[in-house]
Amino acid sequence: MTPTRGAVPPPAHPGPAGADASTATPPAPASGPVLSVRELSVRFHTEDGTVSAVDRVDLDVAAGEIVAIVGESGCGKSVTSLALAGLLPPTARVEGSVRLRDQELVGAPERLLRPLRGRDIAYVFQEPMTSLNPVLTIGRQITEVLQVHQRLGRAAARERAIALLKLVGIPSPERRVDEYPHQLSGGMRQRVVIAMAVACDPTVLVADEPTTALDVTVQAGILDVLRDLRTRLGTAVLLITHDLGVVADIADRVVVMYAGRVVEQAPVHQLFARPRHPYTHALLGAIPTARRGSDHRLREIPGLVPVFAEPSDNCAFADRCPNADELCRSSTPPLEPVKGGQTTNPLHSHQFACWHPTTPPVEAR
Amino acid sequence: MTTATPRSTAPSTPGSRQPVEPAPPVLELDNLVMHFGPVRAVDGVSLTIHRGTVVALVGESGSGKSTVGRCVVRLHRPTSGTIRLNGTDITHLGRRALRPHRRELAIVFQDPASSLDPRLTVGAIVGEPLRLLRLAANRRQREQAVVEALRKVGLGVEYLHRYPHELSGGQRQRVSLARALVSSPSLLIADEPTSALDVSVQASVLNLLTDLQRDLGFACLFITHNLPAVEYLADEVAVMYLGQLVEHGPAAAIFATPMHPYTQALLSAAPLPDPVEQRERTRVVLRGDIPSAVEPPSGCRFHTRCPVAVKRCAVEVPAARQVAGRRVSCHLVDADGSGPDIRVAGQSGTAGVPALRREEASP
Amino acid sequence: MSGADPTLAETDWSAGTAPATGASLRGRRVVRRLARNPLAVSGFVVLCAALLGGVLAGVVAPYAPDQVQFDAAFSPPGTPGHLLGTDDLGRDLASRILFGLRSSLEASVLAVAVALAAGVPLGLAAGYLPVLDAVISRLTDLVLAFPFLILAVGLAAIRGPSLTNAALAIGIAQIPGIVRVVRGETLRLKALDFVAAAIASSASDAWVLARHILPNAMSAIIVQATVAIPVAILGEAVLSFLGLGIRPPQPSLGTMLADAQQYAERAPWTAVVPGVAIMVVTLAFNLFGDGLRDALDPRGGGR
């Protein structure tokens, strides 16, 4: 999956014959994950004290895999994603390990990180309008990325920019390439941002709430683009979101975070069918589906997300959990696989961190 | 606090107190139009809300749904059309004349951060409508009403002296609700009340809204783009596109068998939180962008993006017709309710498309 | 803890109950943030000293400001009995500085008061009512087109020299700055949902402005005022220097500077002392004002 220069990257992994993009199974992890996160912790030193935003997160993403990090505000998912490429403000202290292929990123000096950003690990953020420079044409913004990282000449860069716009599904790309961001709709802009992100065929694409600011009819198109890129370019995608519908649509594996910790990880079907952690259970139960009046109240979680100054030795969810007991409040449950769920790579099995996991399946919808 | 509702009674024989005519609907919008200069935000919306019903107004950005809500509480003066509240035309009333009617109306906004004045205590915020609407005789009465309103939304007396910045997003939305309900309105406009909240907090606010609506009996115009919440909460659904209503009917029916192609697209686009079901669905991806509200497309405004549009759609504005228990504005929907279903794979744009698949209505 | 920062969750130290404090928490926060800023703190200390010195001049000053002592004329600083030296008439400079400070502060506070009294209502009106905005903004642009000091000098020259006229002139020249800030805040606040909620509950324009907009604009106004005072002090000094402001025998830092011009070579301290006094007070106000703005700034969680 080496980046090809100056040409549209060929489809890297042809899926099973006849399958369409939405049901194509991701290519099996070739030789291990392309992004490997171990014991990642992030602490912020603010004027009001220290805040432990991320606490010992472990995470793997394989080539061509879409991993979704799910959680509500304050869970640390965005901080985790920014920590990968060293994009946090100077008040943050990052510990642990982030390996992109064989390159260690935590603690690496700027001169090593800067060439990686955009070329090996690229980001797509929530607000397309603020991600694009309003005074430059979109063609210019894409070619800029190409010229910086791949040293393409102007004509070659422009051709590739047009090819990239076509890749993300923008109609009439030869015309659009000379337009300005304000001439495009929100969905189009987000496609342009994605095109810029994949311009250098990065190993990992980190998308932080890429569809949250978009209308729902446009959202489906963006998710299609991400799925398509995964299949055709073999890009590993780390998707940050709070929307479980998006997760159900596109993710291969799901990581659930709460108060800076990973509380459950599983392949997507297993997570929705049989969640083990009470928080995951509550999250799924909070989504409205049934008609009211059928005695089905949405599941509420009493209390608020805690903020820890230092990582504490207890279950972060204990105060709000209906099953919590002394054990939960006095020691941190470790991340463990479900019974009989081990695979060769423990990070690809279904794991959860709870002393008293829930076992019944989620109510049928 | 009792609400004074105008009731028309026919002359009755002494001893019998039966009103002959039913009370008028809480809200009647008749061809409401709101233009902001060249922007035609709302272009002819007609809608009736009956007492105690929850009507969801759904649409995407540019649909004009928020503007409708703001017009109903007279934050704007409509360009044309009428707004009738409990039978009274309030479209052009001045502030003083409007005051007695405003106690029947209340609005809750989307952003908990900007809905509450950061300089006022919760008690002052919730009490303000009572002062403005002259609904409490003295301070003590006012405080009692405020405490009662806070209790209804699940906040105790200790919240009276707190400031908004000390509260979480969910708590702030509760305060907004308390402020809205303190005057015992007959109509609550909820403009995206849960969109800025986390899923678990949304759940508690939606539960609260359901409980309050059931206990207090107010009608609710629930403006949102969050379709699962609509399915959970609403009695009726009205779908807006680019300033106009395209479909309006009972929620169960609309979710089971949406007739207008845009409604179908909207419903199919909202992802289900179930990977098996979600990945088996046919996805509808509308082509093109939402057109500008300054120069909306001719004829049916949706025709530029509609996969089954025909020539007539670009030329003639479809009239709103009463079809199979709901109102639809689409040329391709017949009088018996059959029409295109763009969610079925293989649909293309010509007349004579296969009849709508009739699915079981969900319970 | 404020919930303004989305990456750090709202605090809940005991699950379920909100912290039981009031606005004092916010005020304390601002004070704490100020206290951490050494420049702001030094500015504040100097300010207080200047204010106290000016107010208590009659008590604290070792001599009367116009007490002439010919035999002690031109004594350099450090002469026993005259800490900062004396001027051409033997008047004690330290005492004159104190009384001069009082005049300067009087004039500048009066000037800023005038600017606020006119500027705040104009700013509110311009921000809230688009019709009035057109007129008011054009007027402020007109006034702003004149360089500040030229305007002040012109106004003072028309009315004749005196402390009040100088204060008036400077105040008028500062009105556009206040109008601009207040108008900006009004426009921003007008668009917020809590204003819409008040209007939907039948609030009149006056109610909205007085109860919602003005209180929320106060931080910006205070900061602007704190920064306007040193401008006024300087302005008064210039006007007095030019003979258009405070007239002798009332002492003024500006007139002290003016009188000292002729003795610059022979007794430089007669010019340096008042000059440094002006500089120090102005600097103190500026540092404090900047610190106050930073402490109140929403980026730091102040709103």
CA atoms of A300 and B200, how far apart (whole Å)? 6
Q: Closest Cα to residue C163, out of C106, C100, C225, C117?
A: C106
A8 min Cα distance to partner chain B (Å) = 24
Domain that holds residue C176: 98-300
pLDDT value for A17: 39
Position C269 pLDDT exceeds 90:
no
Position C108 pLDDT exceeds 80:
yes
| H-type alpha helices, chain A | 77-84, 110-116, 128-131, 138-150, 154-167, 173-176, 186-198, 216-233, 244-250, 268-273, 278-285, 326-330
Q: Which residue has the tokens 């991320």?
A: A54
Predicted confidence band of residue B88 (pLDDT cuts 50, 70, 90): very high
Position C15 pLDDT exceeds 80:
no
Cβ–Cβ of A291/B232 closer than 8 Å? yes
Nearest to B118 among C10, C198, C216 (CB): C216
pLDDT value for B362: 31
Note whether residue C51 is domain-resident: no
- What digits encode the pLDDT tens for the residues B149-187? 999 999 999 999 999 988 988 999 999 999 999 999 999
Are A166 and A225 contacting, i.e. CB atoms less than 8 angstroms apart?
Answer: no
Position B1 pLDDT exceeds 60:
no
**Burial label, C265 (beta-carbon count in 10 A; 0-12, 13-18, 19+):** exposed
C201 touches chain A (CB under 8 A): no
Chain B residues whose beta carbon lies within 8 Å of the beta carbon of residue A242: 198-199
Q: CA-based Rg of chain C, rounded to a whole angstrom?
A: 23
Position C197 pLDDT exceeds 80:
yes
Note whether residue C81 is domain-resident: no
Position A311 pLDDT exceeds 90:
no
Residues 6+ apart with CB under 8 A from B121: B160, B161, B162, B163, C22
Tell me which of B356 and C281 has the higher pLDDT: C281
Position B361 pLDDT exceeds 80:
no
Average pLDDT over residues C126-143: 92
Position B334 pLDDT exceeds 50:
yes
3-state DSSP assignment of residue A289: coil
pLDDT value for B21: 63
pLDDT value for B17: 56
pLDDT value for A340: 67
Chain A residues whose beta carbon lies within 8 Å of the beta carbon of residue C33: 47
Note whether residue A182 is domain-resident: yes
Note whether residue A284 is domain-resident: yes
CA atoms of A23 and A35, how far apart (whole Å)? 24
3-state DSSP assignment of residue B103: coil
> Quick one: closest CA in B to A24, which residue?
B279
Q: Closest Cα to residue A335, out of A262, A270, A272?
A: A262
> Quick one: closest CA in B to A21, which residue?
B279
Predicted confidence band of residue B20 (pLDDT cuts 50, 70, 90): low
Its pTM stands at 0.82
C196 touches chain B (CB under 8 A): yes
Q: Any idea what the Cα angle at residue A14 is, between residues A10 and A17, rounded to 5°?
A: 140
Q: Flag the least confident range among A5-14, B104-113, B285-294.
A: A5-14
Chain A residues whose beta carbon lies within 8 Å of the beta carbon of residue B289: 184-185, 187-188
Tokens for A73? Answer: 């505000």
pLDDT value for B78: 95
Residues 6+ apart with CB under 8 A from B182: B126, B127, B129, B130, B145, B146, B149
B256 touches chain A (CB under 8 A): no
pLDDT over 70 percentage in chain B: 89
Note whether residue A124 is domain-resident: yes
Are B104 and B187 contacting, i.e. CB atoms less than 8 angstroms apart?
Answer: yes
pLDDT value for C237: 84
Average pLDDT over residues B55-74: 93
Buried b (16+ CB within 10 A) or exposed e, C218-241: ebbbebbbbbbbbbbbbbbbbbbb
Cβ–Cβ of A216/B276 closer than 8 Å? no
Position A252 pLDDT exceeds 80:
yes
CA atoms of C119 and B210, how far apart (whole Å)? 49
pLDDT value for B121: 93
Note whether residue C114 is domain-resident: yes
pLDDT value for A253: 94
Q: Any idea what the Cα angle at residue C36 is, between residues C33 and C42, rounded to 5°?
A: 115
Predicted confidence band of residue C234 (pLDDT cuts 50, 70, 90): confident
pLDDT value for A297: 77
Q: Closest Cα to residue A245, out of A297, A288, A279?
A: A288
Position C21 pLDDT exceeds 60:
no
Chain A residues whose beta carbon lies within 8 Å of the beta carbon of residue C12: 303-307
Q: Any idea what the Cα angle at residue C268 is, between residues C264 and C271, rounded to 5°?
A: 80
Q: Which domain-ending residue is among A222, A251, A280?
A: A251
CA atoms of A171 and A221, how far apart (whole Å)? 13
To probe the interface with B, which of A287, A296, A319, A362 has the most B CB atoms within 10 Å? A287
| H-type alpha helices, A199-332 | 216-233, 244-250, 268-273, 278-285, 326-330
Note whether residue C208 is domain-resident: yes
Residues 6+ apart with CB under 8 A from B359: B256, B257
C8 touches chain B (CB under 8 A): no
Tokens for A39? Answer: 């014991």
- What digits encode the pLDDT tens for the residues A232-242? 999 999 999 98
Are A300 and A286 contacting, i.e. CB atoms less than 8 angstroms apart?
Answer: yes
How large is the ipTM?
A: 0.84
Instruction: For chain B, give every domain's residue range.
Output: 27-234, 258-363
How many inter-chain contacts (A to C, CB under 8 Å) are there?
A: 43
* Mean pLDDT for chain C overall: 82
Cβ–Cβ of C4/B73 closer than 8 Å? no
- Cα–Cα distances in angstroms (integers) from residue A81 to residues A124, B65, B349, in the given order: 11, 35, 44
C192 touches chain A (CB under 8 A): no
pLDDT value for A127: 87
A365 touches chain B (CB under 8 A): yes
Position B262 pLDDT exceeds 60:
yes
Are C136 and C194 contacting, i.e. CB atoms less than 8 angstroms apart?
Answer: no
Domain count, chain A: 2
Note whether residue C56 is domain-resident: no
Predicted confidence band of residue A4 (pLDDT cuts 50, 70, 90): very low
B289 min Cα distance to partner chain C (Å) = 28
3-state DSSP assignment of residue B107: strand
C2 min Cα distance to partner chain B (Å) = 5
Interface of B with C in 166-195 (CB under 8 A): 166-169, 171, 176, 179, 183
- Cα–Cα distances in angstroms (integers) from residue B144 to residues B41, B149, B177, in the given order: 41, 9, 17
Predicted confidence band of residue B11 (pLDDT cuts 50, 70, 90): very low
Assess whether A211 and A67 both reside in one domain: yes
* Mean pLDDT for chain B overall: 86
Are A326 and A317 contacting, i.e. CB atoms less than 8 angstroms apart?
Answer: no
For chain A, the farthest-separated pair of C-alpha atoms sits apart, in whole angstroms, at: 67
Chain A residues whose beta carbon lies within 8 Å of the beta carbon of residue B271: 219-220, 223, 243, 245-246, 248-249
User: Which amino acid belongs to residue A262?
Assistant: V
Tokens for C185? Answer: 């805040």
pLDDT value for B141: 93
Position B352 pLDDT exceeds 50:
no
Side by side, the strands of the sheet bearing A103-104 are A49-61, A35-46, A92-100, A103-104
CA atoms of C259 and C246, how far apart (whole Å)? 13
Tell me which of C160 and B74 has the higher pLDDT: B74
Predicted confidence band of residue A29 (pLDDT cuts 50, 70, 90): very low
> Quick one: closest CA in A to B231, which residue?
A291
Average pLDDT over residues B88-101: 93
Cβ–Cβ of B158/C204 closer than 8 Å? no
Q: Closest Cα to residue A240, out of A256, A217, A262?
A: A256
Are C246 and C238 contacting, i.e. CB atoms less than 8 angstroms apart?
Answer: no
* CATH number (domain holding residue C173): 1.10.3720.10
C29 min Cα distance to partner chain A (Å) = 9
- B: neighbours with 3+ CB pairs under 8 Å? A, C
Phi and psi angles of residue C233, each rounded to the nearest 5 degrees, phi first? -60, -45
CA atoms of B128 and C201, how far apart (whole Å)? 8
DSSP for residue C106: H
**Burial label, B326 (beta-carbon count in 10 A; 0-12, 13-18, 19+):** buried
Tell me which of A309 and A350 has the higher pLDDT: A350
Position C10 pLDDT exceeds 80:
no
DSSP for residue C86: B
A3 min Cα distance to partner chain B (Å) = 30
Average pLDDT over residues C186-208: 95
pLDDT value for A178: 92
Tell me which of B235 and C14 has the higher pLDDT: B235
Predicted confidence band of residue A338 (pLDDT cuts 50, 70, 90): confident
Domain that holds residue A175: 33-251
pLDDT value for A95: 93
Chain C residues whose beta carbon lies within 8 Å of the beta carbon of residue B105: 200
Whether omega for the bond prior to residue A181 falls within 30 degrees of 0, making it cis, is no
CA atoms of B258 and B245, how far apart (whole Å)? 14
Domain count, chain C: 1
**In terms of DSSP bridges, do strands B236-241 and B244-250 run parallel, antiparallel, or are they unpaired?**
antiparallel
The 10 Å Cβ neighbour count of residue C216 is 21
Average pLDDT over residues C257-275: 85
* Mean pLDDT for chain A overall: 83
Position A11 pLDDT exceeds 60:
no
Tell me which of A347 and C64 has the higher pLDDT: C64
Note whether residue C153 is domain-resident: yes
Position A72 pLDDT exceeds 70:
yes
Cβ–Cβ of B165/C26 closer than 8 Å? yes
* CATH number (domain holding residue A65): 3.40.50.300
Position B84 pLDDT exceeds 90:
yes
Q: Is B346 left (phi over 0), alpha (psi -120 to 50) or beta?
A: left
Q: Residue B25: enclosing H or E segment and its boundaries?
A: none
Are C282 and C205 contacting, i.e. CB atoms less than 8 angstroms apart?
Answer: no
Predicted confidence band of residue C191 (pLDDT cuts 50, 70, 90): very high
Predicted confidence band of residue A351 (pLDDT cuts 50, 70, 90): confident
Buried b (16+ CB within 10 A) or exposed e, C99-115: bbbbbbbbbbebbbebb
Predicted confidence band of residue B18 (pLDDT cuts 50, 70, 90): low
Q: What is the DSSP string of C35-79?
A: HT-HHHHHHHHHHHHHHHHHHTHHHH-SS-TT---GGGTTPPTTB
Chain A residues whose beta carbon lies within 8 Å of the beta carbon of residue B278: 245, 248-249
pLDDT value for B218: 94
B306 min Cα distance to partner chain A (Å) = 12
pLDDT value for A290: 53
pLDDT value for A1: 37
Cβ–Cβ of A249/B276 closer than 8 Å? no
Are A247 and A276 contacting, i.e. CB atoms less than 8 angstroms apart?
Answer: no
Predicted confidence band of residue C7 (pLDDT cuts 50, 70, 90): very low
**In terms of DSSP bridges, do strands B27-36 and B80-85 run parallel, antiparallel, or are they unpaired?**
antiparallel
pLDDT value for B99: 93
Cβ–Cβ of B166/C199 closer than 8 Å? no
Fold classified for B27-234 = Rossmann fold (3.40.50)
Interface of B with C in 106-135 (CB under 8 A): 106-107, 109-111, 113-119, 121, 125, 128-129, 132-133
Note whether residue A343 is domain-resident: yes
pLDDT value for A131: 87
Cβ–Cβ of C36/A47 closer than 8 Å? yes
Tokens for A293? Answer: 């009046």
Are C136 and C125 contacting, i.e. CB atoms less than 8 angstroms apart?
Answer: yes
Residues 6+ apart with CB under 8 A from A63: A1, A27, A29, A30, A34, A203, A234, A235, A236
pLDDT value for B14: 52
